Homo-oligomer: A and B are copies of this chain.
Amino acid sequence: MLHITSLNNQQVKDWKKLSLKKERVKQQAYLVEGFHLVEEALEYKKDKVKQVIIREDLLEDENFLRLEIEEERLVIITINIADEMSQTETTQGIFAELEIEPLNFPSSINGPILLLDAVQDPGNVGTMVRTADAAGFQGVFFGKGTVDLYNPKTLRGAQGSHFHLETYEGDLKDFILQFREEGYPVFGTALNEDAVSYKEVFVDEPFALVVGNEGAGINEAIIHELDQNIFIPMHGQSESLNVAVAAGILMFHLTN
């Protein structure tokens, strides 16, 4: 197995660049960090794991010893290199490099799908992927303008849930038109005069739920293609909910 000790090693430079989207696209790879995410990667996407990268002082750590990794996929690094690669304040000292999987549209519909329209905060997007997983969704669609799934903060928010469900990307309007042709409803969260309270909405078939940008909401061109907008009635002087909280309330309500 490889043992890298220099911060100037080209492989280390390439890993560090993976925090940038254009480099992830170029290298067609991304990094996950921490024991939980590396373990999930090995359990659910073993064939996509290119390398597991471990800090030299952790080779006898019990969390490492219970992972099953072939020697040829293992790379040992120094403490300095781990600190340089880390996206967190205190790194756990373990990373995995995975291949990016191109997924455009779903090949078939067999469950609910969350559609993200230009959602920009990576923490919010990651949390929504995690919630969609817990609510039993088939997948999450990343529409144009939405932050990248493989952004380090998105991955941290998702906590490995992107290994459990499908992820898609492309033109949201095209997908919605195709989805509706199959006869399934598409719900949105735009606040307009036709919107109804979520408590009045029940569905027992696959559906899609669109959530929009934190500030601007759902794109006008997409609002026109929705079957029904739903809202969460609020009390007091509050004006809105965090988008990930609102999506969580709706996803759990609609799948119950």
Can you give 10 contacting A-B residue pairs, CB < 8 Å?
A44-B237, A123-B123, A127-B245, A130-B241, A136-B235, A164-B236, A199-B256, A244-B244, A244-B245, A248-B248
Residues on the B chain within 8 Å of A246, using CB = 248
User: How far apart are A92's CB and chain B's nearest CB, in angstroms?
Assistant: 13
User: How far apart are A132's CB and chain B's nearest CB, in angstroms?
Assistant: 9
**Of A130, A161, A164, A249, most B-chain CB atoms within 10 Å:** A249
Residues on the B chain within 8 Å of A44, using CB = 237
Complexed CA–CA distance, A136 and B238 (Å): 9
The interface of chain A, by Cβ under 8 A from chain B, is 44, 123, 127, 130-131, 133-136, 157, 159, 161, 164-165, 199, 232, 234-238, 240-242, 244-246, 248-249, 252, 255-256
Are B127 and A238 within 8 A (Cβ)?
no
Known A-B contacts: A133-B235, A157-B242. Give 17 more (CB < 8 A): A44-B237, A127-B242, A127-B244, A130-B238, A130-B241, A131-B242, A134-B234, A134-B236, A135-B235, A136-B236, A164-B238, A165-B236, A244-B244, A244-B245, A245-B248, A246-B248, A249-B249
Residues on the B chain within 8 Å of A235, using CB = 133-136, 255
Complexed CA–CA distance, A245 and B9 (Å): 42
Residues on the B chain within 8 Å of A123, using CB = 123
Complexed CA–CA distance, A161 and B136 (Å): 31
Residues on the B chain within 8 Å of A252, using CB = 232, 249
Residues on the B chain within 8 Å of A242, using CB = 127, 130-131, 157, 244, 248
